[in-house]
Amino acid sequence: MNDIAIELRGIDKSFGLVHANKNINLTVRKGTIHGIIGENGAGKSTLMSILYGFYQADSGDIVVDGNKVTIKDPNAAIASGIGMVHQHFMLVENFTVLENVMLGAEDSQILNTSISKARVELKRLEREYALEVNPDALIEELPVGLQQRVEILKALYRKADILILDEPTGVLTPPEADHLFRILGQLKEQGKTIIFITHKLREIMAITDEVSVMRRGEMVATRHTKETSVEELAELMVGRRVLLRVDKGAANPGAVKLSVENLTVRDSRGVTMVDNVAFTLRAGEIVGIAGVAGNGQSELLEAISGIRRAVSGSVLLNGEPVDVTGYADPGGLRNRGLAHVPEDRHHVGLVLAFEEAENGILGYHHDKRYLNGVFLDTKAIEADAEEKIKKYDIRPPNPRLKTANFSGGNQQKIVLAREMERGPDVLIIGQPTRGVDVGAIEFIHKRIIEMRDQGKAVLLVSVELDEIRALSDRIIVMFAGRVVGERGPDATEGELGLLMAGVEGRKEAAE
Amino acid sequence: MEFFHTIVAILESTIRVSVPLIFAALAGLFTERAGVFDIGLEGKMLGAAFAAGAVAAVTGSVLMGLLAAILISVLLSLVHGYASITQRGSQIVSGVAINFIVAGSTVILGEAWFRQGGRTPALGADARFQTVTFPFADAVKDVPIFGPIYTNLLSGHFILTYVAFLLVPFSWWVLYRTRFGLRLRAVGENPGAVDTAGISVIWLRYRAVICCGILCGFAGAYLSLAMSAGFVKGMTAGKGYIALAALIFAKWRPFNIMMACLLFGFLDALAIRLQGNPLPFIGQVPVQLMQALPYILTVILLAGFIGKAIPPKAGGIPYVKER
């Protein structure tokens, strides 16, 4: 009895018509790392939010350490020894580490005494768990890896015995993720219980003792990690067999379609985000740009697609110059054969309040075939949408449905269908599978390879290294706005990881 | 010596006109640092000035007047809080609405109650704040340099003037040295961090809004019970907006706020002084231009001379627990 840290019995939760958690049972043993895996929208985060007191379950019991508890708010969760490291860090960026750790756990109205006590306690925690961080550093000046460490320290400062980590590796470089895994291992040795939520199978296999799989709001299975396999887990997640490797033949590169030279781009604050970048993209190949989020990939895509004005540099599209430092605009570039699937489909790629069919023609709405004189030809638009729905298996197959009501994967398919079906010469894709479930990922990857095999030039930006490695014929690594290396498709993860962390690149640049 | 006396006189009136700005800007500091933008400082100040004038006129007590000012201002703050915190409405719309409601209703109520064209009756000495004279002020007033500074500049102000200037370090202390201040600043930057730490975002923001109400109450009472002897319609004359500008100009920091308010006050004092006096080289300048000067300078200063003013990150955004 006493070796069970948390037991959930029959947890049920609905948001309006959405049944997010259906009769969930879960047992987490003390001193273990318990993985929870499932696709986006499977209900993992809802379940953990219930455990942390963000939401109340409609029915069901939570048993912590053998005692039935009611967790009505985060305070109650903290009191029961539950701590949470959120996917988006809950830190105040212009506060120091110390202030963040202390926030909400101060001893008295006046801060002085709390500060000195927190400082001593933080030192002790740092020593005990090897979690060094300068207590007086401002959060905004720390790299993400350290920010996450502050989140862990916050939980430990509140004497958490059970630590929930929600998609903790999404923002980390591979070396940082490895470091996190070592920290988690250490915490486990000290007797802490860890619940680790992710949609990445590899991480589950690497560090968990047990794993529970969620699918569509239900807990479908729990396995000892040693006795399961990646294939079995993937099948449990999706509910059918999935192909984890992408099948693709060798690339057959042709003429140069896009060439970028000395491109420099600054963001709205005037910080140089893309620093003198050059590369070429040929017909019939996929060039992947790898890098940790925020190293200039987004700004690079925006400059090439005409959304953001570059400071200097030149871009040739089909051999013709593009006015990237002046008046290039996405519409004009589209007409010249450059299609763009933006990274952020919610804000750039789609108008969520529009119907599916309307989003299906955005950017091409001046095209004669959608027009009837000066009016939109709604019949033609709807027919066009229905064709795409069929071809891209967009569900539900209803062109009149509001786009916000489609799942992430289907929204992405709407954007892809719009841009791919035009047969552009150059296709630029940012984060093709962010927030997209495993089943749809497989489909999207296949379509991207098909585009390449039709002789299109594809530029792919993704923070998912696995995706870059699976699809790309050449891999360019960006760090701090610069291209720090180029590798073939057979580059190892470790090699790319070091480049992404800026370790190898400096050496290479110096040589 | 003539020139020196002119300077002292201008500085003295600088202090006098800066006081309501300091109260109002500090009021804005508390609510905006907590993430609730407040364009309704003007309305709260005006409502408070009216309440102070009306109650002081009826009761003959300056203290009752001050309390009424604070009460009305806090109530208006709570309306803003209810609209923007609880109902998650637009903070700008709510603030503007309060400004309009107060601008209209003070005149209507004033006319209905006192029948003096929207004014409240002129107050006697007991119903107004009195100036404080420092010890030996009379004795030293003829000492060169020191005398005028001590007697005219430091001594002889209303008690509320000293309160306003003492509130500057006090506000700093509250914001940066107390638990309440730490949480208040946190909720203006990342309410999620406050919520997950087990603190109520709603209650914290309401407390910040109440602080704002209290300070606006002081600002309004100063206008009708100290600077003037009673309420006159529209007597805030845009001071709430100037205070808002000072708050931004000061990048939401207490000591900068004091300096910004003194600067705006100085421009105002200068404009009053220069009215009707020909300027060297330029000659006679229209009164209207002099009156517009502080506002023109505000625009220029805000547009280009302060660098980037970064507001509290969660400012203006109602907090919704993410799903």
Q: What is the pLDDT of residue A505?
A: 52
Q: Are the beta carbons of B194 and A104 separated by less than 8 Å?
A: yes
3-class SS string, A94-139: CCEHHHHHHCCCCCCCEHHHHHHHHHHHHHHHHHHHCCCCCCCCEH
From the list B123, B141, B133, B157, the residue with the least C-alpha distance to B231 is B123
For residue B93, pLDDT over 80 is answered with: yes
Q: What is the residue range of B129's domain? A: 2-305
Mean pLDDT of B108-136: 89
Q: Are the beta carbons of B182 and A111 separated by less than 8 Å?
A: yes
Chain A residues within an 8 Å CB radius of B187: none
Q: What is the pLDDT of residue A492?
A: 87
| CA–CA distance, A418 with A399 (Å, rounded to integer) | 13
Q: What is the pLDDT of residue A504?
A: 60
Cis bond upstream, residue A342 (ω within 30)? no
Residue B316 domain-assigned (yes or no): no
Q: What are the pLDDT digits (tens) for B6-30?
A: 888 899 999 999 999 999 999 999 9
Residue B317 domain-assigned (yes or no): no
Q: What are the pLDDT digits (tens) for A321-361?
A: 999 998 889 889 999 999 999 988 888 899 988 999 999 99
Residue B321 domain-assigned (yes or no): no
For residue A1, pLDDT over 50 is answered with: no
Mean of the per-residue pLDDT values of chain A: 89
CB B33 within 8 A of CB B188: yes
**Beta strands A33-38; A193-198: pairing state:** parallel
For residue A506, pLDDT over 60 is answered with: no
Inform me whether the C-beta atom of residue A54 falls under 8 Å from chain B C-beta atoms. yes
Residue B228 domain-assigned (yes or no): yes
CATH numbers and ranges of domains, chain A = 4-238 (3.40.50.300), 256-510 (3.40.50.300)
Give the residue, A502 or A76, on which the prediction is more confident: A76
How many beta-carbon pairs under 8 angstroms link A with B?
Answer: 68
Q: What are the pLDDT digits (tens) for A4-54?
A: 999 999 999 988 777 889 999 999 999 999 999 987 778 888 899 999 998
Q: What are the pLDDT digits (tens) for A382-407?
A: 999 999 999 998 888 889 988 888 87
Residue B252 domain-assigned (yes or no): yes
Residue B237 domain-assigned (yes or no): yes
Mean pLDDT of B115-125: 89
Instruction: Report CA dihedral (B243, B246, B250, B255) to the nearest 10 degrees.
Output: -60
Q: What is the pLDDT of residue B235?
A: 93
Mean pLDDT of B164-182: 96
For residue A478, pLDDT over 90 is answered with: yes
Q: How many domains does chain B have?
A: 1
Give the residue, B207 or A434, on which the prediction is more confident: B207
Residue B57 domain-assigned (yes or no): yes
**Beta strands A162-166; A193-198: pairing state:** parallel
How much is the pTM? Answer: 0.79
Among A75, A88, A112, select the one facing B198 at the smallest CB separation: A75
Of A418-427, B202-211, B228-237, highest mean pLDDT: B202-211
The gap from C-alpha B101 to its chain's centroid, in whole angstroms, comes to 19
Choose, out of A92, A147, A151, the residue to mutate when testing the contact with B (most B CBs < 10 Å): A92
| CA–CA distance, A505 with B98 (Å, rounded to integer) | 58
Task: Grade residue A274 by pLDDT with cuts at 50, 70 and 90.
Answer: very high
- The total number of residues shown for chain B amounts to 323
CA atoms in the 13 A half-sphere facing the CB of A23:
1
Inform me whether the C-beta atom of residue A12 falls under 8 Å from chain B C-beta atoms. no
**Beta strands B131-132; B157-158: pairing state:** antiparallel
Residue B300: CATH number of its domain? 1.10.3470
Choose, out of B172, B179, B180, the residue to mutate when testing the contact with A (most A CBs < 10 Å): B179
Residue B87 domain-assigned (yes or no): yes
Torsions phi, psi for A322 (to 5 deg): -110, 135
Inform me whether the C-beta atom of residue A18 falls under 8 Å from chain B C-beta atoms. no
Q: What is the pLDDT of residue A503?
A: 75
Inform me whether the C-beta atom of residue A106 falls under 8 Å from chain B C-beta atoms. yes
Q: What is the pLDDT of residue A508?
A: 52
